[in-house]
Amino acid sequence: MVQAAQKKEEITFPAELLSFIDEWKVKPGSLIMILHKTQETFGFISRPAAEKLAHLTGIPLARIYGVITFYHFFKTVQPGKNKISVCLGTACYLKGGQDLIEEARSLLGLEAGGVTEDGLFSIDPVRCVGCCGLAPVMVVGNDTYGKLTKDMLPGIIAKYRQ
C-alpha cells in the first residue's frame, strides 16, 4: 500500500526569536524560557513551531509537548482576537468568578479551551490578576473589568464584536 506524502507545514521564526533560542538553548533548564518567548512571538505554540523548536534546540519533541501540556499558561491553539481572562483567585472565586466563566462561555457558545467560529473570542481562567479589591475581575485584551455580575457580560462582549 502506498501512502501519499504528507506536506509538512513550515513556520518561519523571526530573527529575534532565533537569536533568543541560540542564546538560551545551551543553558540548563532553558526550555521554559524558550517556550515563553515562542508563545510571546506567535500567541501560541503550534505543532510546526514545537517541531522547529525540537530541531533547533535538540530537545525531543515529546519533552517539549510534556512541558507545554503540563503548564496551563502555554497554548497549542491560537487564542481568539479578544482573549478573555476571568480571575479565579480566592477573592474572585468566592465572589462568582466561576459563574462569570460559565456565563461568558454560554453567551459565546464556547467549550473550555475553545475559540469562537469567527476567531474573535476565547476564554481562559487565570489564577490571579492582582485586582482582588475589584473581585470578581475579567480582563479582555488590555482592559480590566471589576466588580462584575453576569448581567454585565453581554454589554462588555458587545463592545469587542465591533
Question: The domain spanning residue 119 has which CATH number?
Answer: 3.40.30.10
Sign of CA dihedral 119, 104, 91, 69: negative
pTM of the model: 0.73
| Cα–Cα distance, 50 to 27 (Å, whole number) | 19
Say what the pLDDT of residue 58 is.
95
The predicted pLDDT at position 7 comes to 53
Q: Does a structural domain hold residue 6?
A: no
Q: What's the CA gap between 115 and 77, in Å, rounded?
A: 9
Q: According to the model, what pLDDT value does residue 29 have?
A: 87
Angle (CA) 26 54 113, round 5°: 120
CA dihedral 31, 121, 110, 152 (to 10 degrees): 120
Say whether both 64 and 107 belong to one domain.
no
Q: pLDDT averaged over consecutive 10-residue blocks of the chain (162 residues)?
A: 56 96 93 96 95 96 95 88 95 97 96 90 92 96 95 96 85
pLDDT at 3: 52
Domain count, the chain: 2
- Are 55 and 92 found together in one domain? no
**Domain range holding 61?**
15-70
| Dist CA 146 CA 138 (whole Å) | 7
